[in-house]
Structure 1
Amino acid sequence: MLLLPSSTVVQMPPPMPTGCASASASSTSHSSGLVLGVCCDQLMPQHPHPHPHPYPVHRTTTAVPGPGPGPGPGPVPVSATKKPPLLERERQKERQLLATKWPPPCFIVLASLLEIFVFVCVGQVPPEDSVLIYRPDLRLQLWRFLSYALLHASWLHLGFNVLTQLLFGLPLEMVHGSARTGVIYMAGVLAGSLGTSVVDSEVYLVGASGGVYALLAAQVASVLLNLEQMRHGILQLMAVILFVFCDLGYALYSRDLEELQARPTVSYIAHMTGALAGLSVGLLLLRQLDGGLRPRLLRWLALGVWSAFSVFGIAFNLINTVTAQLLAEQEGEVLKQHLLHDLGMG
């Protein structure tokens, strides 16, 4: 064996594996350089070839430019880059759907144009014998329960209704579709005439205020159903409430002027029943933007309120009409008997 000088100290590695020990034992006749080389090899960290991963791993990198003129710091994983949040992606998708929506929202626009056309043709004071006006003595002509919405008493009345339904109806139609918005609008118009026929059974009725207030109430229903998905839901709700209060204040202020100038009075019943119809039908038909299902209790409550109101209004009108006809026939028979008696023919 080759002896090393006493001044040389060699740090031996920890106990080596069996293979290394056998190699050292068999190399006693070799030079010290070979012995030192084997020991130094054992001192170096061993990096065995890793076993292949049972599942393939795909790593994607992207280059990020550096701040200076030189090359960037190198590729970084895509996961480290900033991704748009989920809510922002949903908003972009919603804006794209609204921009490419087909068919476009057309019901509110067509209804407004038709009301303007009828007003231009008929004039500011609708005749009482018009085939469109609602009259309680002609309630068997069923189209009058809806056609009265095409007539208006003045340019102010027409402009107010058209502007309101465009302001609140178009956004509703763009989100929920023309079919749902049209059903809500017509339900408000029908509720206005039915409610007026029950409470104020002697008045004539013109104007689309029942449908307009149905759209306002449908906005409230939309906020209640989709508050978490709407960015400005509270502001929309406050806008509807502020608008209703302003309209109510104007109506109260103009009551004295209407009495002095013998102008047509405002039918508050048509406004209230139209709003009731818009809220109930809106809770029943409007979409939920998160794709969920509305609570069963809410659906049954909305359907029950609208059905009960409609059935009561229709039944009241039928009973009242039949009763009025019977009374007219009896009165006519009595008048006939009196006339024959006066003529000496009875």
Structure 2
Amino acid sequence: MLSSTATVVQMPPSQSHRNNGLVLGVCLDQLMQHQQQQQQENHSRSAPTKTLEEEQKSTAKEQQLTSRQTRCWPPPCFILLVSLLEIFVFLYVGSAPPEDSLLIYRPDRRLQLWRFVSYALLHASWLHLGFNVVTQLLYGLPLELIHGSGRTAIIYGAGVLAGSLGTSVVDSTVYLVGASGGVYALLAAQLANVLLNFGHMRQGVAQLLAVIIFVSCDLGYTLYSRQLALVEYPSSAISVSYIAHMTGALAGLSVGLCLLRQLDGTLRPRLLRWLALGVWAIFSGFAFAFNLINTVTAQLLAEREGEVIKQHLLHDLGMQR
């Protein structure tokens, strides 16, 4: 008898199915490779553009800094005019100006307010005049070329005013002549300029050392001359006012930090600006109040003394009631 057996035969996949799977895999690989190539091309196109823009901005910034440091227009007219005016006044008045001059600073003439500034036009000798004029030309002209005549004039005037105000508080019995307060304000303003623009200056360290060495030498000479005048020439009326130098430098540094521009165009730190402005405001306010109180007190004492003298005179004449 023939027995029936069930046989299961597994058929291999057809050739067409194999070809379809292979074609699909190749297409996916090509699509992914194409996307990667497009991303690389886009990145390679955008990177040079960004680098070029950064280079253009950096070049423009460097050109702006260079133009600000080397510009010659407008010309530095303020320092030149002040120097010429001081020379002309010296030629007209001469050395050792008289005590009754309308320009000299006198503590007993505080109500004549122009004396707090006009004393800078007078000088005690040719050496005094020459030193101040040469120094303010050396340090004032570069400062004025970079930051303008207006800022330089304000700094110079603040130094001159601070010199007389400081002297009126500390050395309230001396008369004052010379532009040393304004000169030291320019020196301190150079220091402020270095502090604000040190990273953008070609020789920032050299300029900083030049200012420090010059100020140290001149301050030492000032103190030595003052001591020499007190010890060997106690009767001499001419001596060096170190207070005018120091207060002028304080004014130049504080006002310079407030006014001088930063060469890269960025804003200075607000804390630094307010701190410098506060120092100058406190000093000026105290000095003005001191002079006002002293002036009023002196006037009241003079009136009381005059009334006492008048009463004594009337008593001696037998006219007192």
Q: TM-score range by the shorter chain?
A: 0.7 to 0.9
Return 5+ residue gaps in structure 1 as ranges. Answer: 1-16, 19-52, 58-83
Structure 1 residues 218-267: Cα deviation after superposition (integer angstroms, max 9, x where no partner): 01111111111011111111001110122123224434653545261111
What is residue 143 of structure 2 aligned with on the other side?
A: 172
What is residue 76 of structure 1 aligned with on the other side?
A: none
What is residue 31 of structure 2 aligned with on the other side?
A: none
Pair 1:338 & 2:312 matched: yes
TM-score (norm 1): 0.73
Q: CA distance change for structure 1 residues 99 and 224 in 2, over 3 Å: closer, same or farther?
A: closer
Mapping 1:1-346, distance limit 5 Å? 90=61, 92-96=63-67, 101-255=72-226, 258-259=229-230, 260=232, 262=236, 264-346=238-320
Return 5+ residue gaps in structure 2 as ranges. Answer: 1-18, 21-37, 43-54
Structure 1 residue 125, shift from structure 2 partner: 1.2
What is residue 34 of structure 2 aligned with on the other side?
A: none
Distance across 2 between alignment mates of 1:233 and 1:85: 26
Distance across 2 between alignment mates of 1:159 and 1:85: 47
| Aligned partner letter, 2:244 | A
Distance across 1 between alignment mates of 2:227 and 2:168: 24
Distance across 2 between alignment mates of 1:286 and 1:189: 18
Work out whether residues 110 and 295 of structure 2, in 8 Å CA contact, stay in contact via their aligned partners in 1.
yes
SS in 2 for 1:228: helix
Structure 1 residue 344, shift from structure 2 partner: 1.6
Q: CA distance change for structure 1 residues 263 and 212 in 2, over 3 Å: closer, same or farther?
A: same
Distance across 1 between alignment mates of 2:220 and 2:316: 57
Structure 1 residues 24-48: Cα deviation after superposition (integer angstroms, max 9, x where no partner): xxxxxxxxxxxxxxxxxxxxxxxxx
Structure 1 residues 263-311: Cα deviation after superposition (integer angstroms, max 9, x where no partner): 6111111001000000000000000111111111111111111111111
Identity %: 74
Cα RMSD, aligned residues only:
3.2
| Aligned partner letter, 1:334 | V
Q: CA distance change for structure 1 residues 88 and 124 in 2, over 3 Å: closer, same or farther?
A: farther
| Aligned partner letter, 1:244 | V
**Structure 1 outlier segments of 4+, above 4 Å:** 84-101
Distance across 1 between alignment mates of 2:216 and 2:79: 23
SS in 2 for 1:226: helix
| Aligned partner letter, 2:117 | L
Q: CA distance change for structure 1 residues 246 and 86 in 2, over 3 Å: closer, same or farther?
A: farther
Distance across 2 between alignment mates of 1:172 and 1:313: 28
Structure 1 residue 100, shift from structure 2 partner: 5.4
Distance across 2 between alignment mates of 1:97 and 1:221: 17
Q: CA distance change for structure 1 residues 97 and 280 in 2, over 3 Å: closer, same or farther?
A: closer
SS in 1 for 2:251: helix
What is residue 10 of structure 1 aligned with on the other side?
A: none
Distance across 2 between alignment mates of 1:271 and 1:256: 16
Distance across 1 between alignment mates of 2:268 and 2:290: 32
How many residue pairs end up in the alignment? 282
What is residue 45 of structure 2 aligned with on the other side?
A: none
Distance across 2 between alignment mates of 1:248 and 1:88: 42
Larger relative contact order (C-alpha < 8 A, sep ≥ 6)?
A: 2
Work out whether residues 70 and 146 of structure 2, in 8 Å CA contact, stay in contact via their aligned partners in 1.
no
